[in-house]
Amino acid sequence: MTKKPLIEVKSLQKQFPVYGPFGKLGGVKQTVHAVKDVSLTLYEGETYGLVGESGSGKSTTGRTILGLTPATAGEVLYEGKDLVKLSKSEMRKFRKELQLVFQDPFSSLNPRKRIGQTLEEPLIIHGLGDKEERIEKVFRILDIVGLQKEHYYRYPHEFSGGQRQRLSIARALIMNPKVMICDEPVSALDVSIQSQILNILKALQREMQLTMLFITHDISVVRYISHRIGIMYLGTIVEEACTDDLFAETLHPYTKALFSAVPTGKKQERIVLKGEIPSPLNPPSGCVFHTRCPFATERCRQEVPALREIRPQHKVACHYAEEEKQWSN
């Protein structure tokens, strides 16, 4: 059975202007290249994990896909409709189907509003149901994420970190979305609470046939929850594969270094990359990874590698991915 593409991201770019001491009056001094030519596909009912170091552009990619941050260039096709070209009023019609779970649930919850008011707000904005129907729906959603009716009347500061993240998930689910983008939803939680949130997300996905983009820097988390994984470095995707295939054999030098840092209980060589991630203000020419890659050649410094399929459903952006020396220890 062929999987149906729900969201197709094509050559997505996002740049942020950097102004001088006089602000916009002085003109643009530099440009931050946050997202550079990202292409990926989210299939119906799957979880796509987006992994990378801090500053790699993962969160910006997620927010740009949802239109919360306007794209500089590229396409975001949702069921064939390009979201990038829509006005704010046109985009509003799709908000019910495209939801975001924020990294910090406390800062995303209004401290002056009771939880019931916060969860009802999107229903009111979209004119869904009367007062009794909205309250009943909020009660159902609270039950789904493992909370109780009495929590309807409480304020955000009365909840623990794990409970606030459940509330953030509840707010995203209240509109019955088709797509949910989770931006580091468990990074600030204890390990035991992380597992509870991840299990809730997996169960909800099965029951509601949710399509999820799961953004994280935690390799073990993304392995547990994702069907496919994209590895991001300095605003570009350098490797993409099904989860089992990627963990069976990595083909990009950056992915191999990233995975070598994860404790497995087995004897393995730790690959330590030299240098720091280049600044997105002045990204390197050619392959973005060539400044830290032990296998870089002159071609890598001058020519940008395309993200190409080396093996079935396994894509790599590396000129020498087929050569054994790239992945042999």
**Domain-wise residue ranges, the chain:** 5-97+175-326, 113-172
Q: What average pLDDT does the structure give for the chain?
A: 89
Question: What pLDDT was estimated at residue 158?
Answer: 93
Question: What pLDDT was estimated at residue 325?
Answer: 45
Mean pLDDT across 7-31: 89
Helix locations, 145-229, DSSP H: 161-173, 191-208, 219-225
Q: Tell me the pLDDT tens digit for each residue of 236-288.
A: 999 999 999 999 989 999 999 888 877 665 666 777 777 778 888 888 999 99
Whether domain 5-97+175-326 has CATH 3.40.50.10490:
no
Instruction: Answer for the pair 198, 20: CB distance below 8 angstroms, yes or no.
Output: no
Question: What pLDDT was estimated at residue 186?
Answer: 84
**Cα(58)–Cα(70) distance, integer angstroms:** 15
pLDDT tops 50 at residue 326? no
Q: Tell me the pLDDT tens digit for each residue of 124-160.
A: 988 888 999 999 999 999 998 889 999 999 999 999 8
Q: Tell me the pLDDT tens digit for each residue of 275-303.
A: 778 888 888 999 999 999 988 899 999 99
**Res. 235 pLDDT band, cuts 50 70 90:** very high
Q: Tell me the pLDDT tens digit for each residue of 67-90.
A: 999 999 999 999 889 999 998 888
255 membership: H or E segment, kind and range: helix 253-260
pTM value is 0.90
Q: Tell me the pLDDT tens digit for each residue of 165-192.
A: 889 999 999 989 999 999 988 887 788 7
Give whole-number Cα distances, 327 to 7, 16, 164, in Å: 32, 35, 42
